[in-house]
Structure 1
Amino acid sequence: MPSNNPLLHRKRRPVRVPLLAALVAATTATGALVLTGLNSEPTAAAATAVPAPSAPSSSRAARWQATPVPVKKGDLTAIAALSDKQAWAVGYRLKSATALEAVALRWDGASWTQESTLPENSFPQALAVRSAADIWAVGSASAHWDGTRWTAHQLDRDPGGRVVPDAVTTTSDGKAWTVGRAMDRSVKDGVPAIQSWDGTSWHRQPLPDVGKGELSSVTAVAPDDIWAAGAAYATDAASPQTALLLHWDGTSWQRVTAPGPRESHNWIGGITAFAADDVWAVGGSTSGSTERPLAVHWNGRTWTTAKTPDVADGRLRAVGTSGDGTLWAAGGKGAAPVALRWNGNTNQWDKASVPDLVVRSFTTVPKSTTLWAAGIATQGDLVPAITRLKD
């Protein structure tokens, strides 16, 4: 594996065997996953602090169904969709005990096929799909698909060290934004990092000093209304890690106070905006050895915490709304996936049918009730898997 592979430096999972365990460790780390493409079809602005009530659909009791993928061994790290007949997933094929090939898969409404391979050493972790001819993938670097080929683009230098992007989104003015961390020596020394693409090159964005931390997700309402989320690391053994929220107003990035249980370690793994006054962010909260889902909502004025069920290893990684207006969140820790559905009648999140895989990424589909989840199978040795929940 190339020595500059950022996957070898991700946290919270021990490396057990060369290459493959490092890959699994990286993609299962909290904050390593993001969901893109959910806000391509914004819903109407919420009238209250939470979306309008959405009644659970009886068909959602059905099990998720696996869809065959053309990669026998490896990992799938991100998935995004434009419609029921257009979806993409990126990840890796294991070519040997020491070699990986980054791949991009495409769903045509009937099956998944390999559309292309990504540039060498791209190690994709997140995906933003504006159209079939305008796709960004980021990981150890950034790469753009123009409908014919992938082109690698070097990220801007950062005084904090080597930039490792964890999320990417696009805006209506043609720009792209990527967020993650800049590291000098290790993850513990990382600081939040944001860069913007102006059509020609990436440019580092000045950020408020929040200390050590990382950004794991980004979403855009408009070119002058963008949210980035992640975690600010604990400053000492007596202080908890806190959820981190940054907002772009078209001129500068500012920190916004994030709610969460006091004296708990909190973080955000995914964020999606439906309107300027309707933004959801999800993640996890840990107190001692107990971990539970965390969900917070922005109503245009304040962030508030929403009630979530007690779920073991219930960290959430992505949030989005399906075509029928149902709000979903998904994630999990290792082989313990979790899926939640917002119940507007009771103003809380309820447990929902879970995909039978190690969830790396999750997406809703514009104008559809279909849900997709990608990752690796819970059975077998690094078997890439994509599963779908569809009416």
Structure 2
Amino acid sequence: MHTSKSSRHRKVSRSPMVAALAAGAVAVGGLIAAGTVWAGPAPAAKDVASAPARVAGQWQSTAVPVAKGDLTAVAALSDKQAWSVGYRLKSATELEALALHWDGTSWTQQSTLPKDTFPQALAVRSASDIWAVGATAAHWDGTSWTTRNLDRDPAGRLTPDAVVTTSDGKAWTAGRAVPQGIKNGVPAVQAWDGTAWRRQTLPDVGKGELTSLTAVAPDDIWAAGTSFATDSTAETALLLHWDGTSWTRVAAPAGATDEHRWLSGITALGADDIWAVGGSSSKGGDLPYAVHWDGKKWTDVKTPAVADGRLRAVGRAGDGVLWAAGGKGAVSVALRFDAQERRWEQAADPGVVVRGFTTVPSSADLWTVGIAKQGDLVPAVTRFTG
């Protein structure tokens, strides 16, 4: 597995996962569980405990109907409608992609995704219009999942890490086209036009990847990610913009000569109010990193120096508070933006190895999903009550 700085912040690498399965081990959420013993089927929905009494200002664990596996993404329509995707470990050599649904009281398994989907990102337009992307793309129409194969990319196989929908009915996915290994990947974007996925022409930005998408409007879309390090340059933040006609690169703030920077999450609050988050590293460990777009340029915004506190996602809660979440290994972190002081502050620890994060429309609540810090590949969901 490639472990240079150009891939350390990535989510899951599918090629190592497939190789691990073939070797009798399972790679999930960036972890390897060699010779893992299957814990048997998950409990039936009626056996899954409902959410505990909620306490404002705290993260609380919520039961999920998966004994072993990984949850990789989460999205919500309301406090009574949320979805998460991930994997169940069926045996030491077999994974099952699945979707969970939150009904306001408990998480239950809604469905399984097509084989070899390996979902990494989720976009929910409605209860009957959901996209999940990973090794490929799959669409939920309210009854079943259908594989929608991605367009062929001459640069290599597309492995998406982000998906977003727009008001014109389109969906967009971004990631990297990989010809011969992660380190040789190049950023890639495709758009769903209602019939098929179509490859998009991007500016030549060299080797790198895109990890997140956000849409202000069908003709105002941003993609964020990383330009990989070279022998003479550090890893740098990558920002691309769609104006309805073409994709262009927009300059990100420059770091110090030996400082590596990357972006993993982005959200648009308006055309002139966009946030992107990720991590930075120089001689020490990874630290949180955040930049802001004011309609004219991107600027750095100071974050607390949380060791291994690299950020994965960012979003604004229903009460107007901006949040970011992430972490590395057993470290998890949540940051809250103080709009009056114009600074990020460390908030209560989500208490889970964060793989996915979402705000909840018309609510001050938040969700994180991933795996528990204790145990062997135990899927975990925590909920913050605002």
Name the TM-score class by shorter chain. 0.7 to 0.9
1:22 equivalent to 2:11? Answer no
Counterpart of 1:315 in structure 2 is: 310
What is aligned with 1:53? none
Matches within 5 A, 1:222-261: 222-236=217-231, 238-261=232-255
Using CA pairs below 8 Å that are at least 6 residues apart, which structure has the higher relative contact order? 1
1:288 Cα shift?
1.8
Give, in angstroms, the shift of residue 62 of structure 1: 3.6
Matched AA of 2:71: L
TM-score normalized with structure 2 length: 0.88
Shift of 1:19: 6.5
- Sort the Cα spacing of 1:296 and 1:127 in 2 relative to 1 into closer, same or farther, 3 A: same
Identical columns (%): 65
Root-mean-square deviation (CA, aligned residues, Å) is 2.0
Distance of 1:20 and 1:338 partners within structure 2: 29
Q: Deviation per CA, 1:360-384: give whole Å up to 9, x if none.
A: 0010000100100000000000000
Letter in 2 for 1:7: R
Displacement, 1:346?
1.7
Give the partner amino acid of 1:113: T
Question: Among residues 109, 115, 133, which one is paired with 1:114 in the alignment?
Answer: 109
Asked if 1:168 is matched to 2:163, the reply is yes
TM score, norm. by length of structure 1: 0.87
Output the CA distance in 1 between the equivalents of 2:335 and 2:22. Answer: 33
Q: Give, in whole Å, the separation in 2 of the partners of 1:271 and 1:17.
A: 35
In the alignment, is residue 128 of structure 1 matched against residue 123 of structure 2?
A: yes
CA drift of 1:215 comes to: 0.2
1:262 aligns with 2:256: yes
The letter of the residue matching 1:214 is E
The secondary structure found in structure 2 opposite 1:208 is: coil
The 5-angstrom pairing of residues 323-334 of structure 1 reads 323-334=318-329
| 1:18–1:356 Cα change, 3 Å | farther
CA contact (8 A) 2:26 2:93 kept: no
Letter in 1 for 2:250: V
Other structure's SS at 1:188 match:
helix
Q: Residues 367, 190 of structure 1: CA spacing in aligned structure 2 closer, same or farther, 3 A cutoff?
A: same
Aligned positions of 1:33-182 closer than 5 A: 62-182=57-177
Alignment equivalent of 1:8, drawn from 6, 15, 35: 15
- 2:383 matches 1:388: yes
Give the CA deviation at 1:349: 0.3
Report the equivalent of 1:346.
341
1:55 aligned partner = none
Tell me the distance in 2 between the aligned counterparts of 1:331 and 1:159.
33
Question: Is the 2:26–2:92 Cα contact (8 Å) retained in structure 1?
Answer: no
Q: Any gaps of 5 or more consecutive residues in structure 1?
A: 28-58
Q: Deviations over 1:137-176 (max 9, x none)?
A: 0000000000000000111011110110110000000000
Classify the secondary structure of the residue corresponding to 1:290. coil
**Where does residue 4 of structure 2 map in the other structure?**
none
**Alpha-carbon distance in structure 2 between the residues aligned to 1:355 and 1:64:** 6
1:22 alignment partner, SS class: strand
Cα displacement (A) at 1:24? 2.6
Runs in 1 of length 4+ with deviation above 4 angstroms? 14-21
How big is the shift at 1:235?
A: 2.5
Q: How many residues align?
A: 352
Note the residue ranges of structure 2 that are not aligned, 5 or more in a row: 1-11, 33-53
Separation in structure 2 between the aligned mates of residue 352 and residue 376 of structure 1, nearest angstrom = 20
Determine if contact 2:56/2:384 at 8 Å carries over to the other structure. no
**1:41 aligns to what?**
none
The answer on whether the counterparts of 1:141 and 1:155 sit within 8 Å (CA) in structure 2 is yes
Residue pair 1:7, 1:23 contacting (<8 A) in 2 also: no
